[in-house]
Amino acid sequence: MRGYFGIGVETISKEGNVGNLLRSAHAFGAGFFFAIDPAVNIKAMRVSDTSGAFDHLPYYQYDTVGDLALPKGCRLVGIELVPDSVALPTFRHPTRAAYVLGPEMGSLSPALQERCDFIVHIPMKFCVNVGVAGALTMYDRMISMGRFAERPVRAGGATAPPPDHVQGARRKIRTQS
């Protein structure tokens, strides 16, 4: 896949959500994981990390939004349902990106929203779990960054072999004897 991405959270408070998001980040090939002012001890979660993500992903923790340091050229993408946010299926992901999600029972802070280069939302009837939102975002990045071919036009995809004729004339397949 082209480029790289990291994913993080702001003021997250539930260990289960961190674990879910961290395992998904590892599975989708994230380059790093970060947290801003977490309300749980993420470093202590190494014991319950069943995918070994902490052995494969650098982890960065910041006390404040102002402390957040990203690699040069990395664009910050907030995942939040706010006016003027871009619907995820229409968003072109930056080649170098860091995605950030807010707390379970709240939103990205105004300071973090101001810092974001883009804010996108997942078009749904209501908000979903932080781990689910992160996984959906990483999945969308994966399928939209050219790792897979375009989807087929018909349902189910290409299940029949291509025709063995050209403009109605059947081609003979030569076999070696």
Mean per-residue pLDDT, 28-47: 87
> What average pLDDT does the structure give for the chain?
86
* pTM of the complete model: 0.84
pLDDT digits (tens, 9 = 90+) for 103-145: 988 999 999 999 999 999 999 998 899 999 999 999 999 999 8
Residue 149 clears pLDDT 80, i.e. is over it: no
Q: Which phi and psi angles does 20 have, rounded to 5°?
A: -60, -50
In this structure, is residue 117 part of a structural domain? yes
In this structure, is residue 45 part of a structural domain? yes
In this structure, is residue 163 part of a structural domain? no
Residue 112 is part of a domain; what is its CATH number?
3.40.1280.10
Q: Give the span between the Cα atoms of 121 and 77, in whole angstroms.
A: 10
Looking at residue 165, its pLDDT comes to: 52
Mean per-residue pLDDT, 59-69: 97
Mean per-residue pLDDT, 86-101: 97
How many whole angstroms from its chain centre is CA 146? 14
In this structure, is residue 164 part of a structural domain? no
In this structure, is residue 72 part of a structural domain? yes
Looking at residue 47, its pLDDT comes to: 52
Looking at residue 169, its pLDDT comes to: 47
Q: Which phi and psi angles does 16 have, rounded to 5°?
A: -60, -40
In this structure, is residue 55 part of a structural domain? yes
| Residue-range definition of the domain harbouring residue 119 | 4-144
Question: Which parts of 2-152 fold into alpha helices (H)?
Answer: 15-27, 53-56, 110-115, 130-144
In this structure, is residue 110 part of a structural domain? yes
Q: How many domains does the chain have?
A: 1
In this structure, is residue 171 part of a structural domain? no
Q: How confident is the model at residue 4 (pLDDT cuts 50, 70, 90)?
A: very high
Q: Is the CA virtual torsion 78, 64, 68, 133 positive or negative?
A: negative
